[in-house]
């Protein structure tokens, strides 16, 4: 796809500003009614989903040219997709999220790059991870766990740790805990260890489509060789790449893809996993964008729009309307409700209309203050419902929340759901 | 634009809150119905000179004064939806009031809220409901500015029947006049709080707002008080699912009841509505004619196409929805008895399918909150719409005339295939205002902005409908006419006044000249200080 493929879509924004709010019937307070970090922080309409559509069409039609200000606008966005969820409650042709992503691909093609993103891509090219950490140490997290090596052994389940969990020492207990829980449940699980590579989702998000295509090919060949039936990942980013991005670029993983929360919830139902629980704790749950709305399976479409009933536009063949409703929302909640001692309360912005943690879309790398501001907004929401801790299921979210809190010497607790399952 | 003026904007607002980048400005040029006045896309013909983001009344005042000093025109918008928000000529300075988003006060005792321009109806309503209060959320949607609707632009609502029209619900107002002077209307003008729009202090509501509003042609409104009303329903209406047709209330409010009556004729329907208004039992009334309902409310357009095919024939033609909300079970029973009696007297029957779970929940949410349903219904099918008869306020018996007239004229345009085929039954309306002394109707017309012939058909239909109303000595609907007037390069009031009993433009121009001596406020949707050549 390219910007010209969205020529029709770009003409169907109605400039209504639904893209700036959570669904109206879900608003409980003014304080937590916004859905888009970018417009909330930078205020010019150009920062909203609709504004990005206008920028894209303006560039496409040659009405304006790329400037520093427009490049900043394009990249100051987590691509969290909340704009598109809201937009698709009232329409289906305009696709603000896909258009925002195409703007970045255009930027990369035109050499309009951000140095921070180039550094990340350089790390991927050299070491297969966005941090530039040594590839040889990617599997260190699993030391001593007796996990199978899928490069040499067969396993029913491939456990894909992802870059964040593989290299972030603070999060190591989570990824080790997740693997341990699977082993305890009797799952025949293996890892690729140092041969595991990045999913490429972060590269795609900042406009480097080709980089992700390479990683998709790598993973597809590894899955075929392993003969596994399931690919399980604790990383919401990787999950989203597998479920959404790969089908988007027509790369299909011929395997059941599960986030650890989905698999844990299944194992709990089957009685194979028993939540331990710990001290009593009132927690709230942060739906990661990449597990929720961006974890919705993507169904490729290559059709046309035709007219019925005069000017009614209908897709031929039928086309998925992406509203995030097919994301992973219940399994994490089922798990939380199953853990002894946990009192679970909801925040105001949840599920499809969850507020972003701030880490995505290359924002954490290039605009640290914006990323942090976004995280603090979410933490304020968690505190507002009286939670003792914020629980999430994404390493990137957790890292971003912890960094934002750490800078303020705030000891508000952030946990991965795996930690609670293990018994904090 | 003038560099000196731009630097002054930067010094007032900080460089992060002003821009003249062409690409960024195009985000302020792209607009719903831009296709009516410019190229066959949504960019209107006029890109602003720059965009400013003031955060206080003083900053607004400073921008306005700079504009006056440098001979620049300015135009302010709140949420900025619709052609009214865009500049009417080259070189206009935009004030995007997004940063003025404070809900300053909710006075529970005296039942009003004080808001800045970027507080939307959905926010105000959520905060009001949890305090046992409610407000008039207009049909344009929950996403629109409460202040803009109250001070600057008409908008009707399903719950006008119980809470009145917002022209009368605006209380105290803070107003930056086109020359930069700050005026506080009503009680704020004498430092007596926000509770009254008419004093002690200057009372200029008629000039400020009237029935339709000056649409930015008389300066910038920076704060206003909005009247709130008693709400007998629950503090929240929790629901599951986000897609309108799938949305379900977790619990139906115990003091609410939905009636969906239908009638043999529009005349009988109008009679029932009048009696409902007079009896003061309804919380909310709404028309969603079957053509619009089926085309607009499917889960997606494919589903809508199916509903248009299979559901429409099962829906009676002359029906409306009416929500009762009692403050107690006893009051709800009283309201129900009255409703039943009215239906008996007017031979109304109940359309049970829409009173049952499913439709009941969607319609109840729609009648209380609006939510996404109004925009979904009119935009999703074809990508754009424009209402015929938008602004058709009438006295008793004019409703049916307007409805019949619009339907008849529209039918032949539908036969051309250039508009969505709603069988010329695309009406949305609260139907009655206040307690029934006034009627209101608009006929949503769905066209495809990507098909120039479709846009042209919409324009021609609107012109023909308005001419027909004029010929019958009925009211010319201002908000429909303002867009076709702009498409034709005309001043809206110049195109309406000829059909009125007096040339009100004489007075209107004098107000404009008095309040805007330098002609600084963009009047493209209002009136120019002198007649156009």
**What structural domains and CATH numbers belong to chain B?**
3-99 (3.30.43.10), 103-230 (3.30.465.10), 252-477 (3.40.462.10)
The answer to whether A16 contacts chain B (CB < 8 Å) is yes
Question: At A75, which helix (H) or strand (E)?
Answer: helix A68-75
CA distances to A260, A295, A324 from A291, rounded to whole Å, are 11, 4, 10
Counting residues of chain B whose pLDDT is more than 90, the rounded percentage is: 83
**CA dist., res. A397 & res. A178, Å (int):** 17
**CA dist., res. B336 & res. B257, Å (int):** 8
Q: What is the mean pLDDT of residues B216-232?
A: 97
Domain containing residue A204: 126-269
User: Does some domain include residue A185?
Assistant: yes
From the CA of B249, how many Å to the nearest CA of chain A? 10
Residues of chain A neighbouring B130 (CB-CB closer than 8 A)? 28
Among candidates B263, B252, B458, B257, which has minimal Cα distance to B338?
Answer: B257
Among the listed ranges A300-309, A313-322, B197-206, which one has the minimum average pLDDT value? Answer: B197-206
User: Is the pLDDT score of A278 beyond 80?
Assistant: no
Which residues 305-364 in chain B show a CB within 8 A of chain A?
305, 308
Res B86: pLDDT: 93
Give me the half-sphere count of Cα atoms (radius 13 Å) on the Cβ side of residue A344: 16
User: Does some domain include residue A151?
Assistant: yes
User: Is the pLDDT score of B532 beyond 80?
Assistant: no
Q: What is the mean pLDDT of residues A103-126?
A: 96
Among candidates B444, B346, B439, which has minimal Cα distance to B399?
Answer: B439
User: Does some domain include residue A210?
Assistant: yes
Residues 6+ apart with CB under 8 A from A137: A167, A194
A365 burial (CB, 10 Å; 0-12 / 13-18 / 19+) is buried
Q: What is the ipTM of this complex?
A: 0.96
Displacement of CA B42 from its chain's centroid (Å): 20
Nearest CB partner across the interface for A24, out of B98, B122, B449: B122
Token pair recorded at residue A182: 């699977």
Residues of chain B neighbouring A321 (CB-CB closer than 8 A)? 299-300
B418 to A310: CB separation less than 8 angstroms, yes or no = yes
Residues 6+ apart with CB under 8 A from B356: none
Give me the half-sphere count of Cα atoms (radius 13 Å) on the Cβ side of residue B414: 20
**CA dist., res. A318 & res. A335, Å (int):** 35
- pLDDT, tens only, B429-481: 999 888 888 889 999 999 999 999 999 999 999 999 999 999 988 888 999 99
Res B304: pLDDT: 97
Residue B490: band (very low, low, confident or very high) from pLDDT cuts 50, 70, 90: confident
User: Does some domain include residue A247?
Assistant: yes
B300 to A321: CB separation less than 8 angstroms, yes or no = yes
The answer to whether A61 contacts chain B (CB < 8 Å) is yes
Judge whether B414 and B457 are in contact, CB under 8 Å: no
Residue B502: band (very low, low, confident or very high) from pLDDT cuts 50, 70, 90: confident
A28 to B126: CB separation less than 8 angstroms, yes or no = yes
Q: What is the mean pLDDT of residues B204-222?
A: 93
Q: Give the CATH number for residue A237.
A: 3.40.50
B295 to A12: CB separation less than 8 angstroms, yes or no = no
B234-248 as b/e, with b when 16 or more CB fall inside 10 Å?
Answer: beebebeebbbbebe
Residues of chain A neighbouring B372 (CB-CB closer than 8 A)? 18, 23-25, 89-90
Res A256: pLDDT: 97
Token pair recorded at residue B513: 């000249």
For residue A183, what is the DSSP state? Answer: H
Among candidates A419, A362, A364, A414, which has minimal Cα distance to A389?
Answer: A414
User: Does some domain include residue A242?
Assistant: yes
DSSP strands (E only) in B413-510: 427-433, 438-447
B99-123 as b/e, with b when 16 or more CB fall inside 10 Å?
Answer: bbbbbeebbeeebbbbbbbbbbbbb
**CA dist., res. A326 & res. B359, Å (int):** 23
Q: Which long-range contacts (CB under 8 A, 24 or more apart) does B163-169 make?
A: B163/B134, B163/B135, B163/B136, B163/B227, B163/B229, B164/B136, B164/B433, B164/B434, B165/B136, B165/B433, B165/B434, B165/B438, B166/B136, B166/B138, B166/B226, B167/B205, B167/B209, B167/B210, B167/B211, B168/B227, B169/B135, B169/B136, B169/B226, B169/B227
**CA dist., res. B404 & res. B400, Å (int):** 6
Which residues 97-156 in chain A show a CB within 8 A of chain B?
none
| CA nearest to A322 within chain B | B300
CA distances to B161, B235, B241, B260, B369 from B362, rounded to whole Å, are 20, 18, 11, 13, 10
Res B388: pLDDT: 93
Judge whether A274 and A325 are in contact, CB under 8 Å: no
Judge whether A174 and A229 are in contact, CB under 8 Å: no
Q: How many domains does chain A have?
A: 1
Residue A61: band (very low, low, confident or very high) from pLDDT cuts 50, 70, 90: very high
- pLDDT, tens only, B153-180: 999 999 999 999 999 999 999 999 999 9
User: Is the pLDDT score of B486 beyond 80?
Assistant: yes
| CA nearest to A16 within chain B | B81
Token pair recorded at residue B369: 């909150």
Token pair recorded at residue A33: 């009614």
Res B427: pLDDT: 94
Judge whether B197 and B170 are in contact, CB under 8 Å: yes
Q: What is the mean pLDDT of residues B4-28?
A: 98
- pLDDT, tens only, B420-434: 999 999 999 999 888
User: Does some domain include residue A384?
Assistant: no
Nearest CB partner across the interface for B30, out of A15, A90, A313: A15
User: Does some domain include residue A379?
Assistant: no
For residue A257, what is the DSSP state? Answer: E
Question: At B368, which helix (H) or strand (E)?
Answer: helix B359-368
Task: Classify B437 as helix, strand or coil.
Answer: coil
From the CA of B306, how many Å to the nearest CA of chain A? 10
Residues of chain B neighbouring A33 (CB-CB closer than 8 A)? 120, 122-123, 126
Token pair recorded at residue B245: 């047709």
Which residues 269-308 in chain B show a CB within 8 A of chain A?
295, 299-302, 304-305, 308
Res A277: pLDDT: 75
**CA dist., res. B467 & res. B9, Å (int):** 45
DSSP strands (E only) in A239-395: 256-259, 281-285, 304-308, 312-316, 342-345, 389-392
Judge whether B492 and B198 are in contact, CB under 8 Å: no
Judge whether B297 and B444 are in contact, CB under 8 Å: no
B450 to A89: CB separation less than 8 angstroms, yes or no = no
User: Is the pLDDT score of A26 beyond 80?
Assistant: yes
Res A276: pLDDT: 82
**CA dist., res. B348 & res. B358, Å (int):** 22
- pLDDT, tens only, B327-340: 999 999 999 999 99
Token pair recorded at residue B296: 């607009």
Indicate the pairing of strand B438-447 with strand B220-227.
unpaired
Instruction: Kindly report the average pLDDT of chain B as a whole number.
Output: 94
User: Is the pLDDT score of A315 beyond 80?
Assistant: yes
**CA dist., res. A304 & res. B96, Å (int):** 37
Residue B108: band (very low, low, confident or very high) from pLDDT cuts 50, 70, 90: very high
User: Is the pLDDT score of A1 beyond 80?
Assistant: no
Res B497: pLDDT: 84
User: Is the pLDDT score of B396 beyond 90?
Assistant: no
From the CA of B484, how many Å to the nearest CA of chain A? 18
B372 to A90: CB separation less than 8 angstroms, yes or no = yes
User: Does some domain include residue A350?
Assistant: no
Res A271: pLDDT: 96
Place of tokens 């001596």: B517
């Amino acid at each position: 796809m390219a910007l010209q493929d969205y020529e029709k879509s770009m003409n169907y924004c109605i400039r209504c500003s639904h893209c700036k709010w959570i669904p109206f019937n879900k608003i409980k307070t003014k304080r937590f009614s916004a859905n888009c970090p970018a417009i909330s922080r930078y205020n010019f309409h150009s920062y909203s989903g609709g504004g990005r559509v206008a920028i894209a069409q303006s560039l496409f039609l040659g009405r304006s040219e790329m400037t520093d200000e427009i490049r900043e606008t394009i990249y100051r966005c987590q691509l969290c997709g909340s704009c598109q969820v809201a937009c698709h409650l009232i329409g289906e042709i305009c696709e603000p999220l896909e258009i925002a992503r195409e703007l970045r691909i255009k930027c990369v093609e035109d050499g309009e790059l951000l140095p921070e993103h180039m550094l990340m891509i350089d790390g991927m090219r050299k070491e297969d991870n966005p941090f530039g950490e040594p590839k040889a140490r990617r599997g260190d997290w699993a030391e001593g766990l007796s996990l199978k090596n899928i490069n040499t052994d067969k396993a029913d389940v491939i456990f894909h740790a992802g870059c964040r969990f593989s290299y972030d020492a603070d999060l190591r207990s989570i990824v080790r805990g997740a693997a341990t829980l699977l082993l305890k449940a009797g799952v025949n699980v293996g890892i690729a260890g140092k041969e595991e590579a990045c999913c490429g989702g972060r590269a795609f998000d900042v406009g480097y489509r080709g980089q992700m295509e390479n990683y998709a090919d790598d993973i597809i060949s590894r899955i075929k060789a392993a003969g596994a039936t399931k690919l399980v990942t604790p990383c919401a980013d990787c999950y989203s790449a597998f479920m959404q991005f790969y089908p988007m670029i027509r790369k299909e993983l011929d395997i059941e893809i599960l986030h650890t929360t989905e698999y844990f919830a299944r194992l709990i139902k089957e009685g194979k996993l028993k939540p331990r629980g710990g001290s009593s704790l009132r927690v709230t749950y942060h739906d990661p964008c990449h597990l929720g709305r961006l974890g919705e399976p993507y169904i490729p479409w290559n059709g046309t729009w035709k007219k019925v009933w005069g000017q009614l536009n209908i897709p031929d063949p039928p086309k998925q309307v992406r509203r995030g409703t097919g994301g992973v929302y219940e399994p994490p909640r089922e798990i939380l409700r199953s853990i002894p001692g946990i009192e679970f309360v909801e925040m105001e912005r949840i599920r499809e209309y969850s507020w972003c943690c701030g880490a995505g879309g290359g924002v954490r790398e290039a605009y640290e203050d914006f990323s942090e501001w976004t995280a603090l907004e979410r933490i304020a929401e968690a505190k507002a419902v009286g939670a003792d801790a914020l629980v999430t299921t994404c390493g990137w979210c957790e890292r971003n929340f912890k960094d934002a809190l750490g800078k303020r010497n705030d000891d508000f607790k952030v946990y991965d759901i795996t930690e609670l399952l293990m018994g904090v | 634009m003038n560099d000196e003026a731009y630097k002054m904007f930067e010094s007032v607002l900080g460089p992060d809150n002003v821009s003249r980048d062409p690409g960024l400005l195009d985000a302020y040029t792209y607009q719903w119905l831009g296709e009516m006045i410019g190229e066959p896309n949504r960019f209107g013909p006029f890109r602003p000179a720059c965009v400013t983001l003031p955060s206080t009344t003083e900053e607004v005042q400073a921008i306005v004064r700079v504009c006056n000093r440098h001979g620049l025109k300015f135009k302010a918008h709140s949420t900025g939806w619709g052609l009214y928000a865009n500049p009417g000529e080259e070189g206009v300075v935009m004030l995007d009031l997004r940063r003025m988003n404070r809900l300053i006060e909710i006075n529970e005792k005296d039942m009003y809220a004080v808001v800045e321009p970027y507080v939307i109806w959905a926010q105000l309503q959520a905060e009001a409901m949890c305090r046992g209060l409610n407000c008039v959320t207009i049909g344009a949607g929950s996403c629109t500015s409460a202040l803009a609707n109250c001070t600057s632009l008409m908008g009707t609502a399903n719950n006008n029947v119980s809470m009145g029209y917002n022209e009368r619900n605006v209380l105290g107002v803070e107003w930056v006049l086109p020359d930069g002077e700050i005026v506080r209307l009503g009680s704020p003008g004498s430092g007596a709080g926000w509770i009254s729009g008419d004093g002690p202090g200057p009372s200029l509501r008629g000039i400020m707002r009237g029935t339709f509003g000056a649409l930015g042609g008389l300066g910038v409104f920076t704060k206003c008080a909005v009247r709130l009303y008693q709400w007998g329903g629950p503090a929240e209406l929790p629901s599951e699912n986000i897609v309108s047709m799938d949305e379900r209330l977790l619990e139906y409010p115990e003091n609410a009841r939905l009636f969906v009556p239908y009638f043999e004729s529009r005349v009988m329907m109008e009679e029932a509505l009048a009696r409902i208004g007079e009896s003061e039992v309804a919380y909310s009334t709404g028309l969603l004619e079957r053509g619009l309902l089926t085309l607009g409310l499917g889960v997606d357009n494919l589903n809508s196409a199916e509903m248009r095919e299979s559901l429409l024939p099962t829906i009676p033609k002359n029906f409306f929805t009416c929500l009762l909300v009692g403050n107690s079970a006893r009051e709800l029973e009283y309201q129900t008895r009255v409703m039943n009696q009215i239906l008996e007297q007017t031979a109304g029957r109940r359309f049970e399918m829409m009173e049952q779970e499913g439709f009941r929940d969607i319609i109840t949410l729609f009648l209380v909150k609006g939510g996404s349903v109004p925009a979904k219904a009119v935009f999703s099918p074809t990508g754009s719409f424009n209402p015929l008869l938008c602004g058709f306020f009438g006295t008793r018996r004019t409703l049916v005339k307007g409805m019949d007239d619009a339907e008849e004229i529209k039918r032949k345009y539908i036969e051309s295939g250039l508009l969505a085929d709603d069988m010329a039954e695309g009406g949305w309306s609260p139907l009655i205002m206040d307690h029934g002394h006034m009627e209101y109707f608009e006929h949503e017309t769905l066209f495809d902005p990507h098909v120039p012939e479709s846009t042209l058909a919409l324009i021609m239909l609107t012109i023909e409908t308005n001419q027909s109303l004029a010929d019958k000595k009925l009211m010319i609907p201002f908000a429909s006419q303002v867009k076709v007037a702009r498409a034709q390069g005309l001043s809206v009031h110049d195109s309406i006044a000829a059909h009125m009993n007096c040339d009100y433009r004489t007075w209107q121009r004098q107000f404009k000249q008095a309040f805007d001596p330098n002609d600084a406020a963009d009047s493209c949707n209002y009136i120019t200080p002198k007649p156009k050549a």
